[in-house]
Amino acid sequence: MSFDALVHSIFRRVSVTREDRDAYQANTSKLTTRLLDVVLRTFDLGFTAFGGPPVHFQIFHRRFVDGHGKTPWIDEQTYQELFAISQALPGPASTKMLFNIVHIHAGMVPAILAFLLWSLPGAIAMYGFSVGVQQISETPPLPVYALLSGLNAATVGLIALAAVQLARKAITDPLTRLLVAFGGCAGLCYNALWYFPALLVFAGFVTVAWDMVGRGLLIKWKNKQRNNRRSVTPPEPKQMDEIKSNPSMDALGPQRRQATSDTPPTLEETSPVPSQSPRDASTHAIPVKFGLIAIILFFASFTVFMSIRGALHHSPLLLALFNNMLLAGTIIFGGGPVVIPLLREYVVDPGWVSPRDFLLGLAVIQAMPGPNFNFAVYLGALVVAGPASSKSVPTVVGAILGYLGIFLPGLWLSVGFHSIWQSLRKRREVTSILRGINAAAVGFVFTAVYRLWEIGYLTAEQAKGVSLGQEPWWLVVAASTFTAVEWFSVPPPVAILAGGTAGICWWAAVERH
């Protein structure tokens, strides 16, 4: 290997300076100090994080990796690994992502506080909307449809931007580029509970097989081809003079000349090298044995609740509501594209919630800050107030049951698998698997753009939602949102509100007449 190649290889591996290590140290202060640290960095997210999980991931990256003038909490590689794990486990992906980031930085109790700060503002707002929706007429005013359509169009622009930005980080080589495209295309073609986790498993298998076997075979084949070409290519006159003047060089053959001038890269040198080395994030880690106990306890309790669900043909409404939300939170992979039809089956088909109220809540949750799984709060309150209820229980009880049932599985499993990840994250095969999962999951974000686009336009005649492409104005709103946030640094909440305003203006100028 030449001297320049050796220096380049060293600098690729030594990418962590002392300042970098200091910047990513976990907060080991006393609990009150850690809680204050978390509050100051996360208190506004529940009010300003519009756009759904794809946009949330970008917000978390800017705040906790880039820092924006403050000390970053995690590095780029840890962020990418947590992103892959959040997608691979059931439940709300962005909520698990935030919970795990805070857990690494400050510990379990601050992570729970961050979750509450993150989810409660939207949950309270959705509960308030559930109270209001019971008082409105069967058909909302027409400006409401235009407002919601404008909000959806702006959200499409934000999700599209988030997809592009996430892809820039997830694509590290041609294979991950193919997996991003694969995840996006495959996600468009089919939609089922088992489908998204199966795609993630396949992507992880592809990358680990390529990194462990395929890359080495390719390098050997290239080396063989190169040696074959050199063995049949006569030396140039200048090279013949060197051989005559130095017979030892000819005795060593092409291997010596190759080593001195053009050494082919080895497997280790051509493997994707993370932008940063894995940090020691074990300060607040849970021991593996406790993580395994947490996983076992979860599945034991889940089995008990599902056994009760199957044994009781006419279980009490509150128990049935909690069981349905717990089941949804446990088996949902892939986020919104899967959770919406599943929740509809669990609350509309039994007659607990009317189709109109379900669709109104679905339209509103797309424009709310915080996690989209707060939709369960709205549905839980409506179930207790609906025709199947005796109405002897306050609606807030249903909202709380929906909230706990939908969020608890994902967070509980995150705690258990977090401990396992801490012990395995430095293994090369685990890194390869997460690289593939991460790339395919980014492809799912492009799928989310299409799915919201196809149901974003709401009218009195089409309350279920139709394609935003039926009205060119919504394309203008989506493109303007993308441009404003990407190129002019407009805050996403401002862009979302501008989209709603654009919807009202469109109604006043066109639809009203």
Cα Dmax for the chain: 103
Q: Determine the average pLDDT of the residues in 364-393.
A: 89
- Determine the pLDDT at residue 477: 96
Return the pLDDT at 34.
94
Comparing 7 with 133, the larger pLDDT belongs to 133
Q: Is the pLDDT of residue 103 over 90?
A: yes
* Least confident residue range of 268-277, 386-395, 484-493: 268-277
What average pLDDT does this structure show over 105-118? Answer: 95
pLDDT at position 265 over 60: no
97 and 86 Cβ atoms separated by less than 8 Å = yes
pLDDT, mean of residues 211-228 = 75
**Which residues have CB under 8 Å from 66's CB, separation 6+?**
72
**Residue 386, exposed/middle/buried by CB under 10 A (0-12, 13-18, 19+)?**
buried
Residues 121-157: pLDDT tens digits?
999 999 999 998 887 766 677 888 898 899 889 988 9
pLDDT of residue 233: 57
Per-residue pLDDT, averaged over 196-216, amounts to 86
pLDDT in tens, 468-494: 999 999 999 999 999 999 999 888 888
**With contact defined as beta carbons under 8 Å apart, do 473 and 456 qualify?**
no
The predicted structure's pLDDT at residue 84:
87
Which of 24-28, 40-44, 163-167, 319-323 is the least confident region?
Answer: 24-28
Q: How far apart are CA 438 and CA 440, in angstroms?
A: 6
Cβ proximity of 322 and 401 under 8 Å: yes
Closest alpha carbon to 286 in 99, 26, 104, 101:
104
Write down the mean pLDDT value for the chain.
Answer: 81
Contacts of 97 (CB under 8 A, 6+ apart): 56, 57, 60, 82, 83, 86
Average pLDDT over residues 313-337: 83
Q: Please give the model's pTM, rounded to 2 decimal places.
A: 0.74
User: What is the pLDDT, as a whole number, of residue 151?
Assistant: 87
Q: What is the pLDDT of residue 246?
A: 52
Average pLDDT, integer, range 8-22? 41
Q: What is the pLDDT of residues 450-465, one digit of tens each?
A: 888 888 888 877 767 7
